[in-house]
């Protein structure tokens, strides 16, 4: 069994560097597969991890509860020797050197054992630990299978004011919660203005998640725009997608601008007519005055 002092040192190093993992230039050299797994109660699941980091000779394995929270160290592969934490009955095989694959097989899974598993490449020279992207493992409830979501895009509220409009995507009636949501506009992925729930919400026997896309009014009021919500769902074998879309509405803003221009032009024309009428009237009055004056002179 690995000495407790060494485990504490490793854990401290990892905890210190964990915030740097996601932005590290070398973290993409740690490859963890698969990204998602469904398992039945009473079975096990196997996850693989390998790295391309020179002189890194250890792979650590962690478990994070499904609802989030602190990661627990399960053990490590030291070169080609597994060293498990007390009470952990999982198994490891393979190797931890550059280019080698380390396999982690969970202990027998129980209902409620949903979690994320992470591997991390590490060495004993005090350098950073680099993490894999994680594996989301869900223990399915008895007699249940994966069901993809129903997706619907809702148009902006008619009461929404300002210069922007918000489209809402609602994905419902799926199980389990292995989904990700994205938006496209005319087929191009849109990242700005997107706000998605941090996690799906359980309602009775199924899950639900919402996402919002905020766009400018002039973009929404354009029938040439197609706004689509794409929900990727892992069905246990592959990732499938469910899509719903909505087109922009008739450009009321453009119509209003056109109407204002017409009204303004009409107003100017009317003012010009009034001015011309006044000038014409003044000219007529002047002629009448001249005529009257001429008659008085003749008398």
Q: Is residue 255 part of a domain?
A: no
Q: Does 125 lie in the same domain as 16?
A: yes
Which DSSP letter does residue 272 get?
A: H
Query: Would you say residue 212 has pLDDT above 60?
Result: yes
Q: Is residue 254 part of a domain?
A: no
Q: Does 8 lie in the same domain as 78?
A: yes
Print the domain residue range for 173: 150-247
Q: Does 201 lie in the same domain as 110?
A: no
Report which secondary-structure segment, H or E, holds 122: strand 115-122
pLDDT in tens, 61-101: 999 998 778 999 999 999 999 999 999 999 999 999 999 99
What's the confidence (pLDDT) of residue 269? 64
What's the confidence (pLDDT) of residue 11? 45
Percentage of the chain beyond pLDDT 70 is: 75
Q: How far apart are CA 50 and CA 54, in angstroms?
A: 12
Give the pLDDT band (50/70/90) at residue 26.
low
What's the confidence (pLDDT) of residue 125? 78
Q: Does 122 lie in the same domain as 29?
A: yes
Q: Is residue 160 part of a domain?
A: yes
This prediction's pTM: 0.72
Q: Does 100 lie in the same domain as 24?
A: yes
Calculate mean pLDDT across residues 260-287.
65
Q: How far apart are CA 62 and CA 86, in angstroms?
A: 14
What's the confidence (pLDDT) of residue 20? 38
Of 19-33, 112-126, 229-243, the range with the highest mean pLDDT is 229-243
Query: Would you say residue 5 has pLDDT above 60?
Result: no
Give the pLDDT band (50/70/90) at residue 130.
very high
Task: List residues bridging with 243 in a β-sheet.
Answer: 230
Q: How far apart are CA 3 and CA 38, in angstroms?
A: 34
Q: Is residue 144 part of a domain?
A: no
Of 65-79, 116-130, 134-148, 262-276, the range with the highest mean pLDDT is 134-148
Task: List residues bridging with 215 in a β-sheet.
Answer: 165
The chain-wide mean pLDDT, for the chain, equals 85
Give the pLDDT band (50/70/90) at residue 8.
very low
Q: Is the CB of residue 158 less than 8 Å from the CB of residue 179? A: no
- Residue 143, Cα to own-chain centre: how many angstroms? 31
Q: Is residue 145 part of a domain?
A: no
Q: Does 193 lie in the same domain as 111?
A: no
Calculate mean pLDDT across residues 268-279.
67
Query: Would you say residue 247 has pLDDT above 60?
Result: yes
In CATH, what number is assigned to the domain containing residue 94?
2.60.40.10
What's the confidence (pLDDT) of residue 117? 97
Q: Does 104 lie in the same domain as 31?
A: yes
Cβ neighbour number for residue 218 with a 10 Å cutoff = 14
Candidate from 145-149, 252-256, 264-268 with smallest mean pLDDT: 252-256
Q: How far apart are CA 130 and CA 98, in angstroms?
A: 13
Q: Does 226 lie in the same domain as 202?
A: yes
Calculate mean pLDDT across residues 173-194.
97
Cis peptide before 73 (omega within 30 of 0): no
Q: Does 281 lie in the same domain as 235?
A: no
Q: Does 167 lie in the same domain as 124?
A: no
Q: Is residue 252 part of a domain?
A: no
Task: List residues bridging with 214 in a β-sheet.
Answer: 166
Query: Would you say residue 106 has pLDDT above 60?
Result: yes
Give the pLDDT band (50/70/90) at residue 14.
very low
Query: Would you say residue 273 has pLDDT above 90?
Result: no
Q: Does 98 lie in the same domain as 19?
A: yes
Q: Is residue 66 part of a domain?
A: yes
Stronger pLDDT, 25 or 39, i.e. the higher one: 39
Q: Does 95 lie in the same domain as 23?
A: yes
What's the confidence (pLDDT) of residue 293? 63
Q: Is residue 256 part of a domain?
A: no
What domain count does the chain have?
Answer: 3
């Amino acid at each position: 069994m690995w000495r407790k002092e060494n485990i504490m040192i490793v854990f401290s190093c990892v905890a210190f560097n964990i915030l740097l993992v996601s932005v590290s230039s070398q973290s993409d050299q740690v490859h963890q597969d698969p990204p998602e797994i469904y398992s039945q109660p009473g079975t096990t699941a196997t996850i693989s991890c390998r790295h391309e980091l020179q002189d890194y000779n250890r792979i650590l394995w962690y478990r994070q509860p499904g609802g989030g929270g602190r990661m627990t160290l399960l053990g490590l592969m030291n070169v080609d020797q597994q060293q498990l934490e007390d009470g952990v009955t999982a198994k490891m095989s393979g190797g931890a050197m550059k280019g080698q694959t380390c396999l982690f097989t969970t202990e027998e899974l129980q209902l409620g054992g949903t979690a994320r598993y992470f591997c991390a490449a590490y060495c004993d020279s005090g350098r950073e630990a680099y993490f894999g992207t994680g594996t989301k493992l869900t223990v399915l409830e008895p007699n249940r299978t994966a069901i993809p979501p129903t997706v619907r895009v809702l148009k902006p509220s008619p009461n929404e004011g300002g210069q922007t409009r918000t489209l809402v995507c609602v994905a419902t009636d799926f199980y389990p919660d292995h989904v990700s949501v994205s938006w496209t506009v005319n087929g191009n992925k849109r990242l700005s203005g997107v706000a998605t729930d941090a996690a799906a919400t359980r309602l009775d026997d199924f899950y639900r998640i919402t996402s919002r896309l905020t766009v400018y009014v002039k973009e929404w009021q354009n029938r040439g725009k197609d706004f689509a919500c794409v929900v990727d769902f892992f069905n246990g074998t592959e990732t499938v997608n469910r899509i719903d879309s909505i087109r922009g509405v008739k450009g009321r803003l453009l119509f209003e601008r056109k109407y204002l221009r017409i009204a303004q032009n009409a107003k100017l024309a009317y003012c010009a007519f009034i001015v011309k009428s006044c000038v014409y009237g003044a000219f007529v009055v002047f002629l009448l005055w001249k005529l009257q004056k001429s008659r008085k002179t003749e008398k």
